Structure 1
Amino acid sequence: MIRDEDFIKNINVPGPTKEEIRCIVMCKSEVSCDDIVVDIGCGTGGLTVEFAKRAKMVYAIDQNSLAIETTVENIKRHGVAGNVVVKEGDGLYLLKKLENFDILMIGGSGGKLQHILEKGYKKLNVGGRILVTSILLETCLEAVKTIEMLGMTPDVVNVSISKGKLTERGTMMLANNPVTIVSAHKS
């Protein structure tokens, strides 16, 4: 796993996804060197880069031009440009133009989560995986309901990470935002 401090950040773009969350997402995704991954709402590219180190191909999509710029910088920094295609625009629209794939990662949906999941499910190969990361309870609930409606069984994990900061008297634990990871496999 790449350390958080090794990513280029942009104060106007969320991310990168924290290292511990990236570890869990990689584990839940069961990503392999044969997989094609679509990362919608790629932000600064933390998950895009991690997937690119393991997968055959990654499509990184975001509608925020600053996110796209930062993702491209991180792709270059970590030497994975050879198997990443970066696309700026609406995730739902761009998803329609892609061929079938093995993993759908959604980190941001622009309010179109249900539609992205429905369209993504149709393009997901049998045995494919869907993952949604959320900081909002409503996003988690929408992901769970939509995944169930699509006939899959959602796995829901809520992760709370605290990092130690050394102080004069000892180690103070500082909490990061909890993140919920919803994942499912297509039969």
Structure 2
Amino acid sequence: MMFFDITPDDEFYKCENVPGPTKEEIRALVISKVCLTDEDVVVDVGCGTGGLTLEFAKRARKVYSIDINSDAIKTTRKNLEKFGLENKVEILEEEGLSAIDRIEDFTKLMIGGSGGNLKNIIETGYLKLPVGGKIIITSIVLETATESVEMLKELGANPEVVNINVSRGTILDRGVMMKALNPITIVSARKE
């Protein structure tokens, strides 16, 4: 079952020390790329404020939300409670690679932050995915996207790369002024 309702940015609790939430338009694109079903188990590494965790929880059977930052964990928990989704998510305050090592079965892997351990997280996570599982990496830094593509190619995957630039309109007396948000690169691959 797929839903296309995306929670507006201004409905999230935010924290000064934690980036996010991932902008609404980016979350919509990630959800379309991940192709979730209500049977999926999602691992969200680097959950931040929990924007994507929340969207996954609305659609998947279970979500593991991982971050090493205690403020991120608190903010994610608060957002999940606000929307009544805390029972569908297991929140893990630890480094992404060690968490992935312990999680037995998952069908989708989202990497939004890696703590400098991107290649190992991609490799370990991709190898644990079942055939047909998907990996998605979001990046605000070009080098992260490049590393992701190279690592996925080394693993035999055929990565897809999308760069999205979003501008939002601000209403002025004499018209609409468009303000650009940070461009985001989304790298994804299906395990064959």
Q: TM-score, normalised by structure 1?
A: 0.99
Q: Matches of 1:138 and 1:79 in 2, distance apart?
A: 37
Structure 1 residue runs of 4 or more that deviate by more than 2 Å after TM superposition = none
The aligned counterpart of 2:19 is 14
Aligned length: 187
The aligned counterpart of 1:57 is 62
Task: Specify which of 125, 128, 144 is matched with residue 139 of structure 1.
Answer: 144
Q: Matches of 1:126 and 1:77 in 2, distance apart?
A: 35
The aligned counterpart of 1:70 is 75
1:139 Cα deviation after fit = 0.2
Which deviations, in whole Å up to 9, do the C-alpha atoms of 1:24-66 show, x marking residues without a partner? 0000000110000000000000000000000000000000000
1:102 aligns with 2:107: yes
> SS of the residue aligned with 2:157?
coil
Alignment gaps of 5+ in structure 2? 1-5
Task: Specify which of 82, 85, 88 is matched with residue 83 of structure 1.
Answer: 88
Task: Specify which of 173, 180, 188 is matched with residue 183 of structure 1.
Answer: 188
Q: Matches of 1:20 and 1:38 in 2, distance apart?
A: 21
Structure 1 counterpart of 2:172, one-letter code: T
The aligned counterpart of 1:172 is 177
Task: Specify which of 24, 34, 37 is matched with residue 32 of structure 1.
Answer: 37
Structure 1 counterpart of 2:140, one-letter code: I
Q: Matches of 2:28 and 2:163 in 1, distance apart?
A: 14
The aligned counterpart of 2:130 is 125
Structure 1 counterpart of 2:138, one-letter code: T
The aligned counterpart of 1:158 is 163
Q: Matches of 1:3 and 1:131 in 2, distance apart?
A: 21
1:110 Cα deviation after fit = 0.4
Alignment gaps of 5+ in structure 1? none
Q: Matches of 1:149 and 1:33 in 2, distance apart?
A: 31
The aligned counterpart of 2:46 is 41
1:126 Cα deviation after fit = 1.1
Structure 1 counterpart of 2:21, one-letter code: P
Q: TM-score, normalised by structure 2?
A: 0.96
Task: Specify which of 104, 116, 127 is matched with residue 111 of structure 1.
Answer: 116
Identity level (%): 53
> SS of the residue aligned with 1:182?
strand
Q: Matches of 2:130 and 2:77 in 1, distance apart?
A: 27
